[in-house]
Structures are given as C-alpha cells and as structure tokens.
Amino acid sequence: MHALGTHLLVELRDCNPRIIKDLEMVKNALVSAAKEAKATIVDISFHEFNPFGISGMVVIAESHLSIHTWPEYSYAAVDIFTCGDVIKPEVAASFLIKLFESRNP
C-alpha cells in the first residue's frame, strides 16, 4: 500500500522545563517549526493547563503538528503528520528538538 503521508511521533525527554511551560514559547516554536518545514498554516489553537502543561495544534494545509507538554517531567510529546512530497516533517522535528533543548529525543 502506498502511504499518503508521513507521520512522526516524537518523544522529547530532558527538555528545558522553563521553555516547555511557557505558552508563548511553545506556540511560537510549533508555528516556527511548521514554517521551517515549508508548511501552509491554516489555524492555530493552544491551551495552558493549571498548574502547568500545554496542549496545542497547528493545522496546516498538509495536515498538522500537535504538542502536549509536561514541564514537571521535562517531557513533550509531538505529533507531526504531513501529506505530499514538499513538506519535510523531519525538519520540523529537528527544529523542535533543538529549540526545546531536548537532551534525549
């Protein structure tokens, strides 16, 4: 069967907790990762939990990037799904690994 897209599930361990608990930093990181991968952004939605943790989604014409953070564990789970041959999900994943300072992706 021919795959219609590429799906990456990225577990980022040992992240900088200060970064992954900051709503604006996480939101800007996912938007920037989508742009780095040459995706077309359609919609953006993020939610900050109390006392901490963030869930968010960047909907792209080619599918989506989503994230859930657990700053208390220095952990973030990222889901990147892209369709087509133009978008490079690996670029988005590498960008987030570096930006969140994950020492154990």
The Cα 70–Cα 102 span in angstroms is 13
- Farthest CA pair distance, the chain: 45
Which residue among 32, 55, 66, 83 is the active-site one?
83
Which residue among 15, 63, 74, 102 is the active-site one?
63
Which residue among 32, 55, 68, 94 is the active-site one?
68
Asked if 63 is an active-site residue, the reply is: yes
Asked if 68 is an active-site residue, the reply is: yes
Which residues sit opposite 65 in a β-bridge? 58, 80
Asked if 32 is an active-site residue, the reply is: no
Supply the residues annotated as catalytic.
Answer: 63, 68, 83
